Chain A
């Protein structure tokens, strides 16, 4: 299997590349700056490229899956305007479909209790990236991690429909492991899951979902 990781140049992205390498899944890291390329090769990526339509199309054509990492954060979410580059999400989804990539995993974030019934442009628009993905012709999984921390991963999580605990946390390493594991778990195909630290091993949590 071969996966393109868009937004690899993030704290979670580093762990995603490492986890992919551990599972012997070939990865192509899409980074923001040339200086970072060698870092990602060192982390275990087979290739590192800059975000560019032509380059991305060519890499998606040889890939089986895409992992899209947005830089959102549950705490920053409340009553703020959109924080995700919608254009890039929509472009990437479009290119993935054109290139025949079947599997698409997107990292979003657990949302504050807002927006579900809010139709305003500033708040409801936050759902846009997820909605675009759901409507695309792809096998999607949206992973919404709780507040991300720098603690070392424990491998123990919970994956449910909706996390109501506002203080819920999850180490970046575990969030990355879930993103990577969910590539192959049918139970989470075409689903949106919210994840936080828990007491179930990642594989079981995904299977049970």
Chain B
């Protein structure tokens, strides 16, 4: 046979394969779909019905990249997401042309003054520069973006010493002084992988003037990796400060309180996204997790909804008193505002007894989580803007506002949102998802599955391969510095010399008809409604 014959045969085989394989695959799928009893769509429309399942699967990504507009994505729009990423990557958040906010909708606005402050007049402490790294774009074309990373001495935008926020100033032996208003909200090791926690710890440690909340999963070596200031959270299951039988261990607590990085403790009563106890599958309780949380290896953990130690304000306050006297460090509590009567009862007891927490973390109902149920995430607990004003106002009414600091959280990932929260009564602001985005989160919304594609909310070693701690920790640092810088920009515009000065009068609410009302008016309206309800 000649070469031509071989080629002809090869061509025939090729054509046969090209037609036969798809046809046989089609027949196989058709029979399979037709015979299965689970999906009606596939039984009625074999093979073609698969399109439904494929598009459903990649829907979140498609919407994010192609179909949602820049402002409509939830929980965070493309625009908000980009603002966080750019701050971390380039330490540069400039936008062009103009805002894409819908100005017809209602919302809060920051009141600028006629004669803003000059940069020279701001009370900021930039005396200690931070050695960070930023990216610079060399070329940005359709199919290629060339950029390089370079070192940068960045201004940290710390508060002046006299403006620093102090937790437990008069109540404990070691008050916690904070020279910045933004910190990392509770995220446990286990819910986030060791690499994400390490990158966060190193980035926050580098930035300074901030804090890291451990989440209820206990204090791990990864939280300590970059020596940031730490607020250790204690949930109802008291991971890390418990005896094997589940009781609170004062010995373990004392040991934790002696760690220099641990600056305060937070009792977690609830979380915006879930007012329920956590759940960890036995297979995830590795030896390491067990030793951090002080639980049994391999045993499934179902955390209770509430602490067994206390069930009302007096018993909780006694517990807080004891924690403070043993640990010597500030003790706060994290709550979700729902039942205003119960809240009022607690605050009135604060006044009556002279006891109470050093800080209250108010988590909005829109707050994030690694895993919850839709009904709890969507409809339990007030969103932060309502909750914050209520707590602030109640504390003022009972004359105890000066004894306690308020930390606000719930989607406050950009400087304007933070400034509005500060004006509404927050002293400090917690951010969780913003920090996740800064270490690579792409909002795939699969935190609960341990299959996070960015290697952030997963303990899977393979997926975590994608996350390089050394590279990401600079982004964490840049993000937090950018937020602080943004707050100083807004403060200057509002005519105040540092962002701790934000008050109610610095914001107004505009409704959808363009009517403007100050926050006080909204509060009074809320009070009237409450009174009408009571009568």
Residues of A that sit less than 8 Å from B by CB: 9, 14, 32-33, 35-36, 38-39, 42-43, 150-152, 171-173
Chain A: which residue is nearest B122 at the CB level?
A35
Could you list some 13 contacts between A and B, CB below 8 A? A14-B127, A35-B121, A35-B122, A35-B497, A36-B120, A38-B160, A39-B127, A42-B125, A43-B127, A150-B152, A150-B154, A152-B152, A171-B153
The distance in angstroms between the C-alpha atoms of A173 and B152, with both chains bound, is 11
Evaluate contact between A151 and B152: CB separation under 8 angstroms. Answer: yes
Q: With a CB–CB cut-off of 8 A, which chain B residues contact A151?
A: 150-153
Closest Cβ of chain B to A15, distance in Å, is: 9
Q: Which chain B residue has the least Cβ–Cβ distance from A42? A: B127
Assess whether B153 is in contact with A35, with CB atoms less than 8 Å apart: no
Instruction: Give which listed residue, A14, A33, A38, A42, contacts B120 with CB less than 8 A.
Output: A33
> Which residues from B are CB-within-8-Å of A150?
152-154
Contact yes or no, B151 A152, CB < 8 A: yes
Residues of B in contact with A (beta carbons under 8 Å apart): 118, 120-123, 125-127, 131, 150-154, 160, 497
**Distance from B498 Cβ to chain A, minimum over Cβ atoms (Å):** 10
Alpha-carbon separation in the docked complex, A176 to B82 (Å): 36
Query: Beyond the given A35-B122, A150-B154, A151-B150, could you list 4 further A-B residue pairs with CB under 8 A, ordered by the A residue number?
Result: A14-B126, A35-B123, A150-B153, A152-B131
CA distance A171 to B129 in the complex (A): 13
Task: Name the B residues within 8 Å of A152 (CB-CB).
Answer: 131, 151-153
Residue on B with the closest CB to A151?
B151
- A121 and B122 alpha carbons, distance in the complex (Å): 37
Residues of A within 8 A of B123 (CB): 35
A39 to B125, CA, bound (A): 7
Given contacts A150-B152, A151-B150, contact A9 B131 (CB under 8 A): no
> What residues of B have a CB within 8 angstroms of the CB of A43 in the complex?
127
| A35-B120 contact, Cβ under 8 Å, with A150-B153, A152-B153, A173-B153 | yes
User: What CA separation (Å) do A42 and B154 show in the bound complex?
Assistant: 17
**Please, which residues of chain A bring their CB within 8 A of the CB of B120?**
9, 32-33, 35-36
Q: Which residues of chain A are within 8 angstroms of B127 by Cβ–Cβ distance?
A: 14, 39, 42-43
Residue of A nearest to B119 (CB): A33
> Shortest distance in angstroms between A107's beta carbon and chain B's nearest beta carbon?
18
Chain A residue nearest to B150 (CB atoms) is A151
Closest residue to B154 on the A side, CB-wise?
A150
Complex CA–CA separation, A43 to B129 (angstroms): 11
Shortest Cβ distance from residue B134 to the other chain A in the assembled complex, whole angstroms: 9
Instruction: Give Cα distance in the complex from A14 to B156, angstroms.
Output: 14
Query: Nearest Cβ in chain B — how far from A198, in angstroms?
Result: 17
Residues of A within 8 A of B126 (CB): 14, 39
**Chain A contacts of B160 at CB under 8 A?**
38
Residue of B nearest to A44 (CB): B127
Contacting residues, chain B, for A32 (C-beta < 8 A): 120
In the assembled complex, the CB of A86 is this many whole angstroms from the nearest CB of chain B, namely: 21
Complex Cα gap A14–B152 (Å): 15
- List the 7 closest pairs (A to B, CB-CB), nearest first: A33-B120, A42-B127, A150-B152, A43-B127, A150-B153, A32-B120, A152-B151
The answer for the CA separation of A193 and B393 in the assembled complex, in Å, is 63
Complex contacts, B152 vs chain A, CB 8 Å = 150-152
**Which A residues are in CB contact (< 8 Å) with B131?**
152
CA distance A14 to B128 in the complex (A): 10
Chain B residues positioned under 8 Å from A33 (CB to CB): 118, 120-121
Least CB distance, B163 to chain A, in whole angstroms: 12
Nearest chain-B residue to A36 (Cβ)? B120
What are the residues of chain A within 8 A of B125 when measuring CB–CB? 39, 42
Q: Within the assembled complex, what's the spacing in Å between the Cα atoms of A43 and B122?
A: 17
Name the distance in Å between B11's Cβ and chain A's nearest Cβ.
58
B92 to chain A, nearest CB (A): 12
Say how far A77's CB is from chain B's closest CB, in angstroms.
23
**Smallest distance from the beta carbon of A32 to chain B beta carbons, Å?**
5
CB proximity of A28 to chain B, nearest CB, Å: 17
Q: Which of B122, B123, B127, B151 has the most CB of A within 10 A?
A: B127
User: For the complex, what is the distance from the CA of A36 to the CA of B195, rounded to whole Å?
Assistant: 40
Cβ of A42: which chain B residues have Cβ within 8 Å of it? 125, 127
